[in-house]
Amino acid sequence: MTGAGDCNPAPFSAGQHAAARMETHKVPSIEKSHGSPRISFARPVSCRYHRSRSLFPGERGERSGAGVPEEETRDTTPMQYRFAHRMTCAPPSFLDRLFAVSKDPRIISFAGGLPGTRFIDVEGIREAASRVLGEEGRDALQYSTTDGYLPLREYISRRYRQRLGLSIPPQQVQIVNGSQQCLDLVAKIFLDRGDAVAMERPGYLGAIEAFSLYEPVFSDVALGSTGPDIDEFSRVIREARPKFFYGIPNSQNPSGQTYPLEARRAVAEVIRDSDTIFYEDDAFGELFFDGKPRPPVAGMVPDQAVLSGSFSKIIAPGMRIGWICAPPAVLERFNCAKQAADLHSNFLCQKILAAYLETHDLDVHVRRMAQAYGENCRLMCEILDDDFTPDISHTEPEGGMFLMVSLPPGLHSLRLFEEGLREGVAVLPGIPFYACGGGESTVRLNFSTTGEEQIHEGMARLARAITALR
């Protein structure tokens, strides 16, 4: 497929794999029959590396100059590290610069992606940690199973049933190191080099970075206030046949857009008639300003979906606890990949979190967060509408932590980023959110970490930066 939405990885050079002979062995796939989906996983690769004989003295072909004093033969050329080709596919990241900016007390940052620190219940978590260490400390500090602490998986299962009416047994829930790990492991089990993968335009930059390491061909689909462009979505699914489509239907990062119910049904219908998996990242589903949950697309196509969630946005990101729900055949391979990656997620934190949730009402906590985020979001939108020129537009989030601003014609988001820093405000340019290019005329604003006074001052600084660039 060509045109908007398609971008290909850079080709390999002939000598890049001279040190290894690759042999691929295809795993039997699950074919679609009698209405069941065909699920294609990545092919495992075994590599037989040939030793560089010059590094093993005593063998034929050892380094020339044997018997010559070491100081006369020492090679002063800097080491040339033979990194995997996939590392050349990783897009450049703004994150290091942004973290440095965020630490500058003179900068008001709308660029980050952190939940509000004031909502982290330090005392409650301390009490839960003390209880776990006091009652079962040695067990909590021991190795555990890859799938995660069962009481925590049971809690997640119950919450899906109570909030969304979804029947997801604990056996289909896997604990991970934040939902970010899901991105890497889902890509690892599904994607071979050159495989098609699709996502929203704009899309989450962490997903773009994670998927890029597996060297896929990206397709993207425009996302607006009515959800994905369903004609473009249908065409991409039909023509590119991506292994999976990655989407954030609830309060999307970076745009803040939420799929309406009609869009969810339309997306599910297209997926149902394909062999593509819908990968639903629901990191923000608890944070709707009106407190009303939206039905996940995954619930409409359960055999063709994976659904990930996270406690990072609603409890504490430093605990690094998320989860994935998936059909058994997918979860089996996911579990295998996770075991190879880290054996299991932090067991102590899993136990502490489970103990915390036993004694604290998560619904009350989430309502407070969502109410505060909603007030911040409405204030930011009102300032954009009242104090900025009409050639600047923005999305209207229903929840989450972000909104996206479209800049006046000719104003580049990177120039605004630099000018904003001079004025003392940080925004995130839209460029890294576009897998296939774009974003020069957009910036993402975060409203979860600042208060009313900071929002007023930060937006005034942003307005001055835009004026200076006109």
What's the pLDDT tens digit per position in 280-323?
999 999 999 999 999 999 999 999 999 999 999 999 999 999 99
Mean predicted confidence (pLDDT) in 57-62: 39
Give the residue from 310, 329, 360 where a domain finishes. Answer: 360
Q: Are residues 147 and 178 in the same domain?
A: yes
Q: Amino acid letter at 198?
A: A
- Rounded to an integer, the average pLDDT of 397-406 is 98
**34 lies in some domain:** no
Same domain, 422 and 316: no
Strand partners, 71: none
Structurally, the chain folds into a number of domains equal to 2
**pLDDT score recorded for residue 29:** 42
Domain match, 161 and 269 both = yes
- 144 and 267 fall within a common domain: yes
321/175 same-domain check? yes
Distance, C-alpha 466 to centroid of its chain:
30
Please state the φ and ψ torsions of residue 48, each to the nearest 5 degrees.
-105, 105
Mean pLDDT on 334-353: 98
Do 344 and 378 reside in the same domain of the chain?
no
Residue 55's pLDDT band, with cuts at 50, 70 and 90, is: very low
In CATH, what number is assigned to the domain containing residue 149?
3.40.640.10
What is residue 100's predicted lDDT score, i.e. its pLDDT?
Answer: 75
Cα separation of 68 and 72, whole Å?
7
Co-location of 257 and 216 in the same domain: yes
Please state, in angstroms and as integers, the Cα–Cα distance from residue 170 to each residue in 139, 155, 358, 393, following that order: 21, 8, 17, 44
Alpha-carbon distance of 339 to 229, in angstroms, equals 38
Q: Cβ distance 143 to 343 under 8 Å?
A: yes
**pLDDT value of position 103:** 79
**Inside any domain, residue 395:** yes
The one-letter code for the residue type at 429 is P
Q: How far apart are CA 197 and CA 186, in angstroms?
A: 11
The pLDDT value recorded for residue 31 is: 42
Residue 345 has pLDDT above 60, yes or no: yes
pTM here is 0.85
In terms of average pLDDT, the best of 67-71, 87-91, 174-178 is: 174-178
Per-residue confidence band for 72, with pLDDT thresholds at 50, 70 and 90: low
Q: How confident is the model at residue 126 (pLDDT cuts 50, 70, 90)?
A: very high
Structural domain contains residue 73: no
Which of 50-54, 103-107, 329-333, 341-345 comes out lowest in average pLDDT?
Answer: 50-54
What CATH number is given to the structural domain containing 373?
A: 3.90.1150.10
What integer pLDDT is reported at residue 17 of this predicted model?
35
Tokens at 387, concatenated: 């104090």
Q: Specify if 71 maps to a domain.
A: no
Ramachandran class of 130: left when φ > 0, alpha when ψ lies in -120 to 50, beta otherwise: alpha
Average pLDDT of the chain is 88
Residue 266 lies in a domain: yes
Note the pLDDT of residue 101: 76
pLDDT at 259: 98
* Structure confidence by residue, pLDDT tens digits, 9-37: 444 333 333 333 333 333 334 344 444 44
Residue 153: inside a domain:
yes
By percentage, how much of the chain surpasses pLDDT 90? 78
Q: What is the mean pLDDT of residues 336-355?
A: 98
> Are residues 205 and 348 both part of a single domain?
yes
Give the pLDDT score at 61.
41
Quick check: is 23 in a domain?
no
Please report where in the chains the tokens 């609830």 appear, as a residue.
250
Whether residue 335 sits in one domain with residue 452: no
Mean predicted confidence (pLDDT) in 157-177: 98
User: Do residues 221 and 164 both lie within one domain?
Assistant: yes
Report the C-alpha gap between 33 and 419 in whole angstroms: 57
Using the predicted structure, report yes or no on whether residue 68 has a pLDDT greater than 90. Answer: no
Average pLDDT over residues 72-84: 82
Domain boundary residue, one of 319, 344, 360? 360
pLDDT at 277 exceeding the cut of 80: yes
For residue range 384-401, what is the model confidence (pLDDT) as tens digits? 999 999 999 999 999 999
Please give the pLDDT value at position 38: 54
- Looking at residue 190, its amino acid is F
Q: Do 418 and 463 fall within a single domain?
A: yes
Q: Give the structural domain span for 209.
A: 139-360
Give dist(CA 142, CA 137) in Å, integer. Answer: 9
Which of 337, 360, 383 is where one domain is finished? 360
Return the pLDDT at 43.
54
- Taking the C-alpha atoms of residue 197 and residue 200, their distance in angstroms, rounded to an integer, is 11
CA distance 108 to 203: 25
- For residue 74, being part of any structural domain is answered with no
Q: Position 273: which residue type?
A: D
Same domain, 405 and 294: no
CA distance 447 to 403: 8
